[in-house]
Structure 1
Amino acid sequence: MSISSTDHPTAPDRDRQPVPGAPVRPGSYRHDLDGLRGVAIALVVAFHIWAGRVSGGVDVFLVLSGFFFTGMLVRRADTGSVGVLRTVRRTLRRLLPAMVVVLAAVVVAAVVLLPHTRWSDIAGQTLASLFYYQNWYLATSWSDYLAADPSVSPLQHLWSMSVQGQMYLALLLVVALVATGLRLAYTWKRAAAHPIVRRLGRDGMLRVTLAVVFAIAVVISFSYAAEGVSTQQGWNYYDTFARAWEPLAGALLALCAPLIRLPTPAREALAWMGIAVIACCGWVVNGVLVFPGPAALIPVLATAALILAGAGRDTADQPVVNRLLATGPIVQLGGFAYALYLWHWPILIFYLGEQHQRRAGALDGLVIIVVSLLLAYVTHHLVEEPLRERSKPATVPQRGRVATGLSRLLVGRLAGRALAVPVRLLAGRGGLLTGIAVTTVGVLLLGSTVAWQWNNGAKAHAVGQLDPAKYPGAAALTDHALVPRAPMRPTTEEAPADIAYPTRDGCISDFDTRAVITCTYGDQNAHRTIAVVGNSHAEHWIPALQLLGEQYRFRVVVYLKMGCPLTVAEEPMYKGQQNPDCRDWSGEVIDRLGIERPDYVFTTATRPSDNGGDETPQDYIDVWSALSDRGLEVIGIRDTPWLRRNGIRYRAIDCLASGGDRVSCGLKRSEALSPLNPAEDPASAFPNMHLIDPNDAVCEPVVCAVVEGNILVYHDEHHLTASYARSLAPELGRELRPILGWW
């Protein structure tokens, strides 16, 4: 995102900038757009902290990034070579140092504040952020950007920086290739003699060619994003190809805005409409559900309106809104918007984690903002500015003002004078000390994250068969089996890999796979069949069913899709987002079940309720009706508890690694399960519906602990470990025996 001012059209000449509010030549430095950055970052921070919604500020930044960066590239191409390597080096020098400082701080905070079980994911996201592929990292997991709670990564917000970095590289290469191609074409006399070429000149041809290329790309990207909203929004939100049309719209503005001349009333109207829409966008549109599809036209067009309103005019002749945006405080806020964006999210997430809260209140939200502003100010003046100005001599008075201003901000006037000298030394010519410090931190950061990744990969593996004498698991609850002293298995390091077999074997359709994938477990040569259908909560019973199938000679055929309980709803949702693949997948599965006719269909009959306990949604009942219409026998299993406190999901391994025990890391049974199985009443209307409830083998009478019989129950927030699922086989067999009659 062009949150920082590093890509402003006249950034290389910042020592010649006029002061905010002073008259400037048409087309020169636009302080109003720095002010727009300030407004956008204020909205982003406020909405993240208090509203739990997307403000549209990120979309404003993406448009500005395309506008600023393309303008700079075209001006360079006009005067000579674009300078690919020089531009890459300059851009990285301006973006990476502040990011490295924040990443290093997050790594340190993670080590100090988070359990070691979280380190691997933080390490992975740190590397993804450092190398600008964080958006793809998150896209593969459908991370919920709305959820600012302790279960969210403190680096999740950096997906937008990855999109920006990737788009910078794409824009740079396109402009360089077109400029080079035109330069070569001009050496061909026939091409240079063409009337259109002679009339436009090489600079004009460059702009026209780029405008055509960018316009085509905008149409393609916008169409792709519009389709993605209704098909795979979880991926679409982070997808660079879906996001590309926003910075490309800014690129088109950079090419076309100088040619547009609007009357003053039109400029005033555009400016007022633009700022009003940007201010209200977050309340009107739930962006995380629909951006970057057609709804993103709202912040994009509003930003374009403000750019056009002030284009080609002296500051004194700009609309009132643009003049207000060019005033000192707003411009100054825009000046360190990049650093503020980097800092505010991790501070928010770590704070919520320490306080065990889902949202920040009014007062603590203000504290988070003040701390974020202070760190952003320090980062901007001690890291960004010294490295940005490395290539030009800065006067001592300029640096003295920065140093003294920072010192006074921190400790007051008298102490400020004392600290001005060392701060000036730190920000000396070329920012040498800052550069060395940032480079050192970067090397240490990279080394530590690689080590964490390697260490976690070495320890995470599925657990084999455990000795039932030492590890009775569920038998400790159902059969009062003796539980000897033995280390918990799987360990906190092993648990993430101790998962149900279909995920391990690639036998479950992921979030972005529409195809129905089937695999067979149990006795593959048997003539009797149980079809396990639905999402991962049907899947995690496969280790138990595998043992029963082998023992009692029946096949277990899986029809599974992540995040998709079997449904007949027209608009099924997952994490608040439309999931049409689930609807289409479910329709095909139900039809196939009607044709293949397994002896029984095994699926979940309940799910957790947002108000505590569990429930049977109407959609589940509609599915039972569809299966009943096809004459299929259905086994509905009551879902196992999900680990949640105050509506916040948490992992058992994180709690245990933080010093909790099997009981304190669990939850009250009354919070997880309703007094009666909520599926009983609706199931009574379906003679083909058979209910089972094995939760007495998962929970004690009062508490649902996270370790039973020396076996860890959960490998994440709500899925059984394969080891514990295997220990549930005897109890599941007792529940199924009167229904199946096969043993």
Structure 2
Amino acid sequence: MHHQATTRAPGARAVGVLRPGHRVDLDGLRGLAIALVVVFHIWFGRVSGGVDVFLVLSGFFFTPMVLRRVERADGPVLRPLVVRTARRLYPAAVVVFGAVALWTVWDRPFTMWDATTRQLLASLAYVQNWELARTASDYAAADLSVSPLQHLWSMSVQVQFYVGVTAVVFLVAAACRRCGRRDLTTPVLVSVLAVAAAVSFAYAADIGRTHQGWAYYDTGARTWELAVGAIAWLAIGRVVLPAALRAAAAVVGLAALVGCGFLVDGAAQFPGPAALVPVGAAMLLVVAGAGAPESRAPAVTRVLESRPLQFLGSIAYPLYLWHWPILIAVLSAGHSVTVVTGSAVTVVSIALAVATRSWVEEPVHRRGAGRGVLIALVATGAVGLAAVSAAWQGYLDRATAQPTADVSADERYPGALALVDGEPVPDAPMRPTVLDADLDLPQSTLDGCIADMTQREVISCVYGDPDATRTLALAGGSHAEHWLPALHRIGRDRGFAVITYLKMGCPLDIGEPLLADLPYPDCRDWSSEVLDILAADRPDWVFTTSTRPSPTEFGDVTPDAYLDVWARFSALALPVVAVRDTPWLSREGVPYRAADCLADGGDSESCGLPRSEALSEIDPARAASLPFPSVVPVDFSDAVCGPDVCRVVEGNVLVYHDSHHLSATYVRSLVPVVDSTLGEVTGWW
């Protein structure tokens, strides 16, 4: 994204050439790409394809630079290359990282510092894409729950490609020298990159069908986009198309690039075959501008050489760094995106980008006394940010080193019984604490007995009484799983086994399941296999969820997909305990964590939400289950919510461990309630 050669006057009209001249039009293409990124992020909440153009251009500029240095080496090669790249990437980034860190400490509750410090460390090491993939982050519309550093995944992908392609160039050049055929270096390199691009493209297409959330950030799935750019410089420069074809390529490329964000859902489809649209558009524009110096450039190429796009191209990197955290900060302040706020975000981002270019980037590249001082400040800032982030992570590790204490036998912590039976609530510190909340998880998560979003295998574990002859199958997603602490204890005491079949984000669904509005076909296949296993093993009862929050209005609904599963259970004569889902914490559609709200000064009630917003007046599963006599709807809402408000603390126990999962401690306080209902439904006691 950031590699620029010497600068030509913005108004110059000379046609770009691939060798040896500077491609002024590609500076403009970079400007157009950053304009699309900013506009689509701010106003449309969509992926524009602009980042894919940056990836192509990064491969285009970086690979030949490495090749030139290797071919003309008359001294050290790797060290100057690393130093040059670090000077281009780190100064502006460290300034933005510092601003994000200060804003986080000033504005965000301390329970949110964990994610920011982890992502600061990942961004400084250029592995942010893997941090986001690991935590299953979705790259979609901005809101105040999204990290202000999320957009830096693409910089991590680029740097990882730089490392890989540098190694490839060195190895190919060394092999050709050893064979006495230095003239074959470029053809061999093109061949190697073409194979890498083909493998990466096939991998992206395959993994995108089953693990799209991971594929979006996966360097292996993104490599083909950068490799295409590298091949373009190495190969396309040998071909100059006729003027008419270059003009047509320019028009088609520009139209495809501008329309990509409207026509293609990049978050759901990139970097698979759909990414050919922005990558192909970039290639068409590269080809269109690759004419002989004396030829006339296509009109579109001259547009790319215009002053506005040249200006945006000159600040593309710092503008990319600044616009996303500024947008997140505005949203976190309670503002929605309007013409005024969106324009303000754009203007402020551009102003900060210009200041960063003028006061940080340009001085770092100018020789002089001030350069050394600035580089020292940047290095000190990077080390300081890393040290502070690591220190906070170390503090959290120590503060949460001990497992959350089981307070179910402590009369100071009646939990759900304070709500259901009016048990007295003495003065006592809340459990789990706001720092412990993230770790107050069902035993199945701690045991690795729930498949994550990237796992296709069915994982089964046994809780309760493993030697019992009566069995209850706990099947579905994490909202079925969070009942396990109660079911495990009841099963152990009442003499039945709880057999788990769990997958994150996957309630039993054999239709076309979605995860954050993205296709989740792995869930469908997993659900089908679980149903086959249940048909063969025939547990006495199946325990699963029966509702979800309504996607269009207040309250909850029973999705049609659940009815298909219930029909399968009915055909198999398997009885089902269908438990109503618990409320999801959100404001205006934006999720928030109970612990964050409490840490920010809220209380149990102000951090809760009106019951009428979270739950329909009557359990939707009552009517939905009527055609299926073997499906028994169960509703524990009165043990989670009061008559008017679903509070986040009951009986000194934190109800939620995040924004929508019950804490294990609270579920254990529900044992008497679940025990009574389960005994009545099953007739076991």
Superposition TM-score, scaled by structure 1 size:
0.90
Q: Is the 8 A contact 1:22 1:315 kept in 2?
A: no
Partner of 1:602: 543
Q: Which moved more, 1:43-52 or 1:255-264?
A: 255-264
- Distance in 2 (CA, whole Å) between partners of 1:557 and 1:316 is 73
Structure 2 counterpart of 1:279, one-letter code: V
Partner of 2:526: 585
Q: How far 1:733 moved relative to its partner? A: 1.1
In the alignment, structure 1 residue 353 sits paired with structure 2 residue 332: yes
In the alignment, structure 1 residue 625 sits paired with structure 2 residue 547: no
Matched positions, count: 679
In the alignment, structure 1 residue 44 sits paired with structure 2 residue 28: no
Partner of 1:512: 454
Q: Is the 8 A contact 1:386 1:430 kept in 2?
A: yes
Which is greater in Rg? 1
Q: Which residue of the other structure, out of 304, 313, 325, is the alignment partner of 1:325? A: 304
| SS of structure 2 residue aligned to 1:530 | strand
In the alignment, structure 1 residue 452 sits paired with structure 2 residue 392: yes
- Distance in 1 (CA, whole Å) between partners of 2:93 and 2:381 is 11
- Distance in 1 (CA, whole Å) between partners of 2:129 and 2:659 is 23
Q: Which residue of the other structure, out of 251, 254, 271, is the alignment partner of 2:233? A: 254
CA deviation profile, 1:522-578 (whole Å, cap 9, x unmatched): 111111111000000000000011111121111111000001001111x32111222
CA deviation profile, 1:487-513 (whole Å, cap 9, x unmatched): 111010111101111101100011111
Q: Is the 8 A contact 2:15 2:289 kept in 1?
A: no
In the alignment, structure 1 residue 473 sits paired with structure 2 residue 415: yes
Partner of 1:77: 70
Q: Which residue of the other structure, out of 43, 53, 58, is the alignment partner of 2:46? A: 53
Q: Is the 8 A contact 1:21 1:323 kept in 2?
A: no
Partner of 2:373: 433
Q: Which residue of the other structure, out of 724, 732, 735, is the alignment partner of 2:677? A: 735
- Distance in 2 (CA, whole Å) between partners of 1:63 and 1:552 is 62
Structure 2 counterpart of 1:584, one-letter code: D
Q: Which moved more, 1:728-737 or 1:72-81?
A: 72-81
CA deviation profile, 1:201-239 (whole Å, cap 9, x unmatched): x34x11100111011111100001111221111111110
Partner of 1:265: 244
Partner of 1:98: 92
In the alignment, structure 1 residue 151 sits paired with structure 2 residue 153: no
Q: Which moved more, 1:220-229 or 1:80-89?
A: 80-89
Partner of 2:644: 702
| SS of structure 2 residue aligned to 1:120 | helix
- Distance in 2 (CA, whole Å) between partners of 1:490 and 1:18 is 62
Partner of 1:614: 556
- Distance in 1 (CA, whole Å) between partners of 2:284 and 2:104 is 42
What pairs with 1:297-696 in structure 2 (closer than 5 Å)? 297-314=276-293, 317-355=296-334, 357=335, 359-390=336-367, 428-429=368-369, 431-460=371-400, 461-466=402-407, 467-569=409-511, 571-610=512-551, 611-696=553-638
Q: Which residue of the other structure, out of 198, 211, 215, is the alignment partner of 2:194? A: 215
- Distance in 2 (CA, whole Å) between partners of 1:233 and 1:372 is 30
Identity of aligned residues (%): 51
In the alignment, structure 1 residue 117 sits paired with structure 2 residue 111: yes
Structure 2: gaps (5+ residues): none
- Distance in 1 (CA, whole Å) between partners of 2:67 and 2:485 is 61
What pairs with 1:128-139 in structure 2 (closer than 5 Å)? 128-139=122-133
Q: Is the 8 A contact 1:492 1:653 kept in 2?
A: yes
Structure 2 counterpart of 1:68, one-letter code: F
CA deviation profile, 1:117-143 (whole Å, cap 9, x unmatched): 000110000011110111011111221
Q: How far 1:249 moved relative to its partner? A: 0.2
- Distance in 1 (CA, whole Å) between partners of 2:493 and 2:139 is 45
Structure 1 counterpart of 2:209, one-letter code: S
Structure 1 counterpart of 2:684, one-letter code: W
- Distance in 2 (CA, whole Å) between partners of 1:253 and 1:372 is 32
CA deviation profile, 1:60-109 (whole Å, cap 9, x unmatched): 00000111111222223332368122111110111011111111110110
Structure 1 counterpart of 2:176, one-letter code: L
| SS of structure 2 residue aligned to 1:632 | coil
Structure 2 counterpart of 1:578, one-letter code: P
Partner of 1:408: none
- Distance in 1 (CA, whole Å) between partners of 2:235 and 2:90 is 31
Q: Which residue of the other structure, out of 278, 294, 304, is the alignment partner of 2:257? A: 278
Q: How far 1:19 moved relative to its partner? A: 5.7
| SS of structure 1 residue aligned to 2:620 | coil
Structure 2 counterpart of 1:602, one-letter code: F
Q: Is the 8 A contact 1:163 1:240 kept in 2?
A: yes
| SS of structure 1 residue aligned to 2:413 | coil
CA deviation profile, 1:305-341 (whole Å, cap 9, x unmatched): 1111111433862211112211223112101100000
- Distance in 1 (CA, whole Å) between partners of 2:265 and 2:627 is 39
In the alignment, structure 1 residue 21 sits paired with structure 2 residue 12: yes
Structure 2 counterpart of 1:595, one-letter code: A
Q: Which moved more, 1:169-178 or 1:428-437?
A: 428-437
Q: Is the 8 A contact 1:638 1:694 kept in 2?
A: yes
Q: Is the 8 A contact 1:462 1:495 kept in 2?
A: no
Q: Is the 8 A contact 1:56 1:281 kept in 2?
A: yes
Structure 2 counterpart of 1:21, one-letter code: A
- Distance in 2 (CA, whole Å) between partners of 1:316 and 1:239 is 41
Structure 2 counterpart of 1:577, one-letter code: L
| SS of structure 2 residue aligned to 1:521 | strand
- Distance in 2 (CA, whole Å) between partners of 1:221 and 1:22 is 37
CA deviation profile, 1:117-171 (whole Å, cap 9, x unmatched): 0001100000111101110111112211113000000000000000000001111
Q: How far 1:462 moved relative to its partner? A: 3.3
Q: Residues 552 and 733 of structure 1: is their aligned pair in 2 closer, same or farther, counting only changes over 3 Å?
A: same
Q: How far 1:629 moved relative to its partner? A: 0.7
Structure 2 counterpart of 1:691, one-letter code: P
Q: How far 1:22 moved relative to its partner? A: 4.8
Q: Is the 8 A contact 1:84 1:173 kept in 2?
A: no
Q: Is the 8 A contact 2:15 2:296 kept in 1?
A: no
Q: How far 1:463 moved relative to its partner? A: 1.6
Q: How far 1:430 moved relative to its partner? A: 5.5
- Distance in 1 (CA, whole Å) between partners of 2:10 and 2:96 is 30
Q: Which residue of the other structure, out of 667, 673, 676, is the alignment partner of 1:725? A: 667
Q: Is the 8 A contact 1:531 1:602 kept in 2?
A: yes
CA deviation profile, 1:440-466 (whole Å, cap 9, x unmatched): 211211111001111112223532221
| SS of structure 2 residue aligned to 1:21 | coil
Q: Is the 8 A contact 2:471 2:540 kept in 1?
A: yes
Q: How far 1:644 moved relative to its partner? A: 0.8
Superposition TM-score, scaled by structure 2 size:
0.97
In the alignment, structure 1 residue 176 sits paired with structure 2 residue 170: yes
For the aligned residues, what is the CA RMSD?
Answer: 1.4
| SS of structure 2 residue aligned to 1:244 | helix
Partner of 2:81: 87
CA deviation profile, 1:705-726 (whole Å, cap 9, x unmatched): 0000000000000101110000
Q: How far 1:429 moved relative to its partner? A: 4.2
Q: How far 1:736 moved relative to its partner? A: 1.3
Q: Residues 310 and 479 of structure 1: is their aligned pair in 2 closer, same or farther, counting only changes over 3 Å?
A: same
Structure 1 counterpart of 2:361, one-letter code: E
CA deviation profile, 1:422-449 (whole Å, cap 9, x unmatched): xxxxxx5452232122122112111110
Q: How far 1:687 moved relative to its partner? A: 1.2
Q: Is the 8 A contact 1:134 1:158 kept in 2?
A: yes
